[in-house]
Structure 1
């Protein structure tokens, strides 16, 4: 190979490598569908506000939920909503709704009072269909099923979490065979926002 041709080849490779690299690392657009967007946006419009709720159905009642119940739409970005669920003085629970590009994810971030992760945390599910602008369902994902099995509660593998958002109310529902729990929040009467949940900072 003569020197001129060799120089041309080296130059061509040097030019093409940065172009190839930039093509490889270019992130894919985060796509979403109207029913997911509308559901997400309907919650996000309450960002910064807190609302009191009450248990409207529970076929296995617990005294814990007889306390004051408050949801706080605490932090919102274009792709994530953080919603602490305060049960009396227990600030261990935060619902996290995320746009994933293939739907919506719901995770339950559970913390200890010192802010460390609870042994059972980040369980939840992912949408498997379009749902509705007012309602979305999140069947338990594989991570959650494995966590529940290790924790000795395999019956929870059948969990589906549902959220309903209307002009005057927000409802969180857990359902599986033989088990149902629903708590409903009044969106017409904002209350004082609580302090940051455990593991988070104001």
Structure 2
């Protein structure tokens, strides 16, 4: 009986070179509504859009007089970073991340030298699947603790919302007696804004 030399056929080398993925971290699997929502935002990666405040609260007066620009700046399969520029203030970046439970929204706040603000990385996780056009993010416990430590007791019931349609991106903050909303026109891309603080 003829002996088959596996080495001569190259099979041994092929077998030994086969990568092993047993320890690879699986990507989060989202509800269809959340995956569609995420992908709709990611489709705008690299583009910037102008916005305006459409809510009527007196607390928003300072935003109405400033140039407002969002920039879908950094995109991966699991995370989007969207700086929110308010005039010459480049301190804010929205961070949307896929998790095993759904989607997470955090607010990355920096000083001009790039260091973190003491009130930063606050936000929350989705509590439901939402829709392909709207996701809501009730405040998480870490953010409540941060707000309490920094005297922002009025903010401990915050719920943030993001809506995206073919024409408009909306960012909203709601709680009792508070409503903030800024809408961005997705049909008119703008020149790219400066690099956000701390993300050079």
TM-score (norm 2): 0.86
User: Residues 64-75 of structure 1: matches in 2 within 5 Å?
Assistant: 64-65=62-63, 66-75=65-74
Residues 187 and 29 (structure 1), Cα distance of their counterparts in 2 relative to 1, 3 Å cut: closer
Where does structure 1 differ by over 4 angstroms across 4 or more consecutive aligned residues?
A: 22-26
Displacement of 1:33 in angstroms is: 1.2
CA distance in structure 2 between the partners assigned to 1:76 and 1:103 by the alignment: 17
- How many residue pairs match? The answer is 180
Retained in 2: the 8 A contact 1:59–1:179?
A: yes
Q: Report how far residue 153 of structure 1 moved.
A: 1.5
Q: Shift in Å at residue 102 of structure 1?
A: 1.2
- Partner secondary structure for residue 156 of structure 2: helix
Distance 1:29 1:67, change over 3 A: closer
Distance 1:138 1:47 in 2: 22
Unaligned regions of 5+ residues in structure 1, if any? 1-21
8 A Cα contact 1:64 1:87, kept in partner:
no
Match of 2:189 in 1: 190
Q: Any stretches of 5+ residues in structure 2 without a counterpart?
A: 1-19
Greater Cα offset, 24-33 or 96-105: 24-33
CA shift digits 1:15-36 (9 cap, x unpaired): xxxxxxx999553452111011
RMSD: 1.5
Contact 2:60 2:180 in 1 (8 A): no
Pairing of 1:1-202 with structure 2 (within 5 A): 25-65=23-63, 66-201=65-200
SS at match of 1:94: strand
Paired residues of 1:105 and 1:126 also in contact (CA < 8 A): yes
TM-score by length of 1: 0.85
Counterpart of 1:6? none
Q: What is aligned with 2:16?
A: none
SS of equivalent residue, structure 2 residue 54: strand
Higher helix share: 1
Retained in 2: the 8 A contact 1:115–1:199? yes
